[in-house]
Amino acid sequence: MLLSPYPTLGERLRVGLLWAWCAMVLIYLVTPLLIPIPLSFNSGSFFTFPLAGLSTRWYEVVLGTERWRAAIGNSLIVAFGTTMLATSLGTFAAIGLSSPRFPARQMVMPLLISPLVVPIVVTAVGAYLFYAPLGLASTYGGIILAHTVLASPFVVVTVGASLTGFDRNLMRAAAISGARPALAFFRIMLPLILPGVLSGAAFAFVTSFDEVVVVQFLASADQRTLPLEMFTGLREQLSPAITAAATLMMTLSILLLVVANLLAARARRRMRVLPA
Amino acid sequence: MNEHGSQLVTRESRLLRGAETRAGVNDGGWRAMSSRLVPRHEGTRALALAAPLLVLLIVSFGIPIIALLSRAVYDPSISRALPRTAETLRQAATEDPPGDEVFAALEADLKEDQARGTVFEFAKSLNSRLSGARSQVLKTARLLASGTSPSRSELIDAIPFWGEKQTWSTIRGGVHGFTSFYLLSALDLRWGVNGSLDFVPAGEAVFLRVFARTFMVAALVTLATLALGFPLAYLISNLPLARANLVLVLVLLPFWTSILVRTAAWTVLLQKFGLLNDALIALGITSERLELMYSRLGLIIAMTHIQLPFTLLPIYSVMRSISPSQLRAAHSLGARPLTAFRRVYLPQALPGVMAGCLLTFILCLGYYITPALIGGASDQLISNFIANYVNVDLNWEMAAALSFMLLAFTLLLYAAFARFLGLDRFKLV
């Protein structure tokens, strides 16, 4: 950090100021994530410190009352459906794209990535106006379909990255040894790219589990998810139950994304040992 | 270089060229062999593997968005509700209000709509183009339902709405189905009675202000993330790798938490009797509690927090590749610290800064959740207006026109991003 081995006072001061500024920025970044955690264990119903006392009453509300439980159940249904659909379709698409003979790549890639580019409200309104006459609005299927659109780019990108180091000769060797394509895929390719696939699956799960805008347009009362319950709760009246729900959601998504990133790093390492 | 030397070079290059040709032959041979190893329909098979996802994306994403955008320019509600009027207007009648023939067609159409029960739908869709039209149309329908068949002048006398030029230019604008009305409205423009393009009166103008506000908030948030993120990225990129990763985790934790959860955390913090106000008073920065919820300042504080990692990470990835010894070299050559930073470091970090800022700016244009929960009535951005037109006003054509504008701005900026910076150079995860 210091420019010279014998820094002047001015230089020490500049580095000190840089550290102080960065410490402030880090506090700004992290504090909002930490604050809801103690508040969710507050026995009182206000958002102030010091806490009135410790209790798990707000977790009992979130995990115990019918309304919140239904929301958690719906979130899990939608997120699992999305994960299955996005991971399978995204993995196959990434395998297809990794072939050097893939036609019209220049046109296909932008389409695959476009759900990340289009503003979420445009995607949600488009889906709502299109799905409603088809009877897909207010169904789990419609929400899963829309979430798969949002989640699939992450799967295509992570699986694609883990395929860059995959030696396609292994598939030829399997074919020469008499394996049908499906067997070669499950016995040779999938085990090698599994960290990438699982990482993509975790990204897909988190994308769906955290999503609220599409759900707001597509869901009826029967498909209310945990984020939608939080969104309406924040709009109507602020209850500490929201801090408990936020803590649960935050824990889940951070855990999953840490796993996803570790898996992705592992996929990169694993591919590095193979000859390119 | 002497003659001999240049000859040598020529000979060498000829040798090289020969080697190239040989390599070319070899390469061709290999290619021929490997193409025998690759199954003949490899390309088709690769496309078939990607096909399910492509079909899903086209059916459940591409077509819905095209259908949405087409609503902005194609709205057959008027020509469908008034088929005879539309037909007569298309054939003749240049002056407004038109002649007896058109009025007879109008009365017949409205009677039929009343009988079919679609007159309210028509009144609503005319109202979305011309405010106040709903009650006038419904009043006319009631009048006609009572069995009377007024002449042109009788109808204008009874309901002066039908004698106004604006009424007829609006209907005329809708008889073809294709209309520029909504796209122009999204920019606060409309066709005047004599075919000129005018701004709508100041009292009715909404959208230019909303676009300006959206761009303003996006610019402020981008600047704030840069001011906070640039020094931090610099610090992290100069730390030893193990410690850098530790600090980077503190940046990534908020990045991995959903926007909704972070917005929820900020609604708790920004309350009048919330922690931020407590801290400000304890530090003596303010003496009375600030109204941060439902304010522009609160919105920008929360959005900056959410966007900070998006600005920081591309800057960091570029800074990581700049050797710290360059600054030391500049310093030892006599450059003052600021000069060394400005002349040596900043030009190399600039692509990262541009990428981070552009990304944050683009993402800010599409913000919806945070303004809806933390912004006040005058802090709602363009996405919130789109959602409102769908959920509350049920004016899908207007929502479509605003979506069109938002998407156009977003795609233009992404195109600039890809053109000047390259999309795959900056990885976020």
Please tell me the predicted confidence (pLDDT) of residue A1: 59
Phi-psi region of B326 (alpha: psi -120 to 50; beta: other; left: phi over 0): alpha
- Look up the pTM and report it: 0.86
Residues in A touching B56 (Cβ below 8 Å): 89, 145, 148-149, 152
Q: Judge whether B265 and A33 are in contact, CB under 8 Å.
A: yes
Q: Which two tokens stand for residue A149?
A: 């659109």
State the Cα–Cα distance between residues B184 and A224, nearest whole angstrom: 37
Find the closest chain A residue to B273 by CA distance.
A48
Rounded to the nearest angstrom, the minimum Cα separation between A191 and chain B is 19
Which pLDDT tens digit goes with each residue over B227-275? 999 999 999 999 988 899 899 999 999 999 999 999 999 998 998 888 8
Amino acid symbol at B237: S
Residue B30 has pLDDT above 70, yes or no: no
Q: Please answer whether residues B360 and B225 qualify as being in contact, where contact means their C-beta atoms are separated by less than 8 angstroms.
A: yes
CA–centroid distance for A140 within its chain? 19
Per the structure block, which two tokens stand in for B11?
């000979």
Judge: A96–B268 Cβ closer than 8 Å, yes or no: no
Banded pLDDT at B19 (limits 50, 70, 90): very low
The predicted structure's pLDDT at residue B164: 86
Q: How far is A262 from chain B (nearest CA, A)?
A: 11
Q: Where are the alpha helices (DSSP H) in chain A?
A: 9-34, 36-40, 57-64, 66-98, 105-117, 120-131, 140-163, 169-176, 181-184, 190-210, 213-218, 226-236, 241-273
The C-alpha of A63 sits at a distance from chain B's nearest C-alpha, in angstroms, of 17
Residue B164, classed as helix, strand or coil, is coil
Looking at residue B200, what DSSP letter applies? P
Q: Does B265 touch chain A (CB under 8 A)?
A: yes
Inter-chain residue contact B271 with A47, CB threshold 8 Å:
yes
CATH of B207-425, one of 3.40.1170.20, 3.40.50.720, 1.10.3720.10, 1.10.10.1800: 1.10.3720.10
Chain B contact set for A253 (CB, 8 A): 256-258, 261
C-alpha distances in Å from residue A2, one per residue of A10, A20, B78, B343: 11, 15, 72, 18
Range in B12-21, B38-47, B267-276 the model is least confident about: B12-21
Q: Among B339, B356, B354, which residue's Cα sits nearest to residue B251?
A: B356
Range name among B85-94, B307-316, B322-331 with the lowest pLDDT average: B85-94
CB A78 within 8 A of CB A223: yes
Question: CB neighbours (10 Å) of residue B356?
Answer: 30
Average pLDDT score over residue span B166-187 = 86
Q: Tell me if chain B has a CB within 8 Å of the CB of A186.
A: no
Q: Which two three-digit tokens encode residue B191?
A: 């066709």
Task: Report how far apart, in Å, the C-alpha atoms of A82 and of each of A75, A89, A108, B369 are.
Answer: 10, 10, 22, 22
In the three-class reduction of DSSP (H, G, I as helix; E, B as strand; rest coil), residue B199 is classed as strand
Residue, of A274 and B285, whose pLDDT is higher: B285
Distance from CA of B62 to the nearest CA of A (A): 8
Q: Is B55 on the interface with A (CB under 8 A)?
A: no
Long-range contacts made by residues A244-247, C-beta under 8 angstroms, separation at least 24? A244/A40, A244/A58, A244/A59, A244/A61, A244/A62, A245/A62, A245/A68, A246/A36, A246/A40, A246/B261, A246/B264, A246/B265, A247/A36, A247/A37, A247/A40
Cβ–Cβ gap A122/B403 under 8 Å: yes
Q: Which amino acid is at B348?
A: Q
Q: Do B61 and A28 touch (CB under 8 A)?
A: no
**Amino acid B9: pLDDT:** 38
Q: CA Rg, chain A, in Å?
A: 24
Q: Is the peptide bond before A50 cis (omega within 30 degrees of 0)?
A: yes
Q: Judged by CB atoms within 8 Å, which residues 6-25 of A form the interface with B?
A: 11, 14, 18-19, 21-22, 25
Q: Do B50 and A93 touch (CB under 8 A)?
A: yes
Q: How confident is the model at residue B7 (pLDDT cuts 50, 70, 90)?
A: very low
CB proximity A116 to B under 8 Å? no
**pLDDT higher than 80, residue B12:** no
Question: What b-and-e string marks burial along B128-164, b requiring 16 or more CB atoms within 10 Å of the CB?
Answer: bbbeebbebbbebbebbeeeeebebeebbeebebbeb
DSSP string, B108-131: HHHHHHHHHT-HHHHHHHHHHHST
Burial of B26 (0-12, 13-18, 19+ CB in 10 A): exposed
Q: Tokens 């996803």 — which residue?
A: A260
pLDDT at A224 (0 to 100)? 93
Chain B residues 204-243 with CB within 8 Å of chain A:
228-229, 231-232, 234-235, 238-239
- Pick from A47, A96, A261: which is nearest to B46 by CB? A96
Contacts of B42 in chain A (CB under 8 A): 99, 101
Nearest to residue B259, comparing CAs of B308, B312, B306? B306
Note the pLDDT of residue A3.
59
Note whether B63 contacts A: Cβ–Cβ < 8 A.
yes
The domain defined by A66-273 folds into MetI-like fold (1.10.3720)
Q: For residue B264, list chain A residues with Cβ-Cβ distance below 8 A.
A: 36, 230, 234, 242-243, 246
Closest chain A C-alpha to B420 CA, distance in angstroms: 17
Q: Distance between terminal CA atoms of chain B?
A: 52
Pick from A101, A152, A213: CB nearest B46: A101
SS3 B101: helix
The residue with tokens 């309406």 is A232
- CB distance A263 to A256 below 8 Å: no
* Chain B contacts in chain A segment 192-231 (CB below 8 A): 206, 210, 212-213, 216-217, 227, 230-231
Indicate yes or no: CB of A122 within 8 angstroms of CB of B386. yes
Quote the pLDDT of residue B26.
Answer: 44
pLDDT at residue B13, rounded to an integer: 41
- Residue contact A47–B38, C-beta within 8 A: no
Q: Check if the interface score ipTM surpasses 0.95.
A: no
pLDDT tens digits for range B304-318: 999 999 999 999 999
Q: What is the mean pLDDT of chain B?
A: 85
Q: Is B329 at the interface with chain A, CB within 8 A?
A: no
Alpha-carbon distance of B153 to A230, in angstroms, equals 58
Q: Encode burial over A128-149: b for 16+ CB neighbours within 10 A, e otherwise.
A: bbbbeeeebbebbebbbbbbbb
What was the pLDDT predicted at A109?
A: 86
The end-to-end CA distance of chain A, in Å, is 37
Does pLDDT of B217 surpass 80?
yes
Please report the pLDDT score of residue B175 as a whole number.
83
pLDDT band, residue B429 (cuts 50/70/90): very low
* Neighbour-count burial for A61-95, b at 16+ CB within 10 Å, e otherwise: bbeeeeebebbbebbeebbebbbebbbbbbbbbbb
Of A187, A194, A204, which is closest to residue A159 (Cα–Cα)? A194
Q: Is residue B142 within 8 Å of residue B158, measured between CB atoms?
A: no
Helices and strands (H, E) in chain B, number of each type: 22, 2
Inter-chain CB proximity A3 and B53 less than 8 Å = no
Phi, psi of A274 (to 5 degrees): -75, 145
Report chain A (276 residues): mean pLDDT per 10 consecutive residues: 71 91 96 90 77 85 90 96 97 92 85 92 96 92 96 93 86 91 91 91 94 94 93 86 91 90 78 50
- Residues from chain B that touch A115, judged by Cβ atoms under 8 A, are 57, 61
Please answer yes or no on whether B232 and A242 come within 8 Å at the CB atom: no
CB within 8 Å of B360: residues ≥ 6 apart: B218, B221, B222, B225, B307, B310, B311
pLDDT in the model for residue A4:
64
Look at residue B377 in the predicted model and tell me its pLDDT: 92
Under DSSP, is residue B178 helix (H, G, I), strand (E, B) or coil? Answer: strand
Whole-number pLDDT of residue B15: 38
CA B19 from centre of chain: 54
A38, A51 in Cβ contact below 8 A?
A: yes
Taking a C-beta distance cutoff of 8 angstroms, is the pair A174, A182 a contact? no
Rounded distance between C-alpha atoms, residue A236 and residue A224, angstroms: 16
- Model confidence at B404, pLDDT cuts 50, 70, 90, reads very high
d(CA A4, CA A7): 5
Q: How many CA atoms lie within 13 A of B311 on its CB side?
A: 29
Mutation to test the A interface, candidates B268, B269, B326, B383, most A Cβ within 10 Å: B268
- B344 and A CB contact within 8 Å: no
Helix (H, G, I), strand (E, B) or coil at B277: helix
Give the residue extent of every domain in chain B: 77-178, 207-425
| Position B25 pLDDT exceeds 50 | no
pLDDT digits (tens, 9 = 90+) for B331-383: 889 888 888 889 999 999 998 999 999 999 999 999 999 999 999 999 999 99
Interval B118-131 mean pLDDT: 86
Q: What is the pLDDT of residue B17?
A: 40
**B228 vs A contacts (CB less than 8 Å):** 25, 28
SS3 for B294? coil
* Contact present, A149 and B62 (Cβ < 8 Å): no
pLDDT at B416 (0 to 100)? 87
* Pick among A1, A3, A114 to test the B interface (most B CBs inside 10 A): A3
pLDDT confidence of B150, banded at 50, 70, 90? Answer: confident
Which pLDDT score, from 0 to 100, does residue A68 have? 92
Distance CA A68, CA A62 (A): 5
Show the 3-state SS of A137-194: CCCHHHHHHHHHHHHHHHHHHHHHHHHCCCCCHHHHHHHHCCCCHHHHHHHHHHHHHH
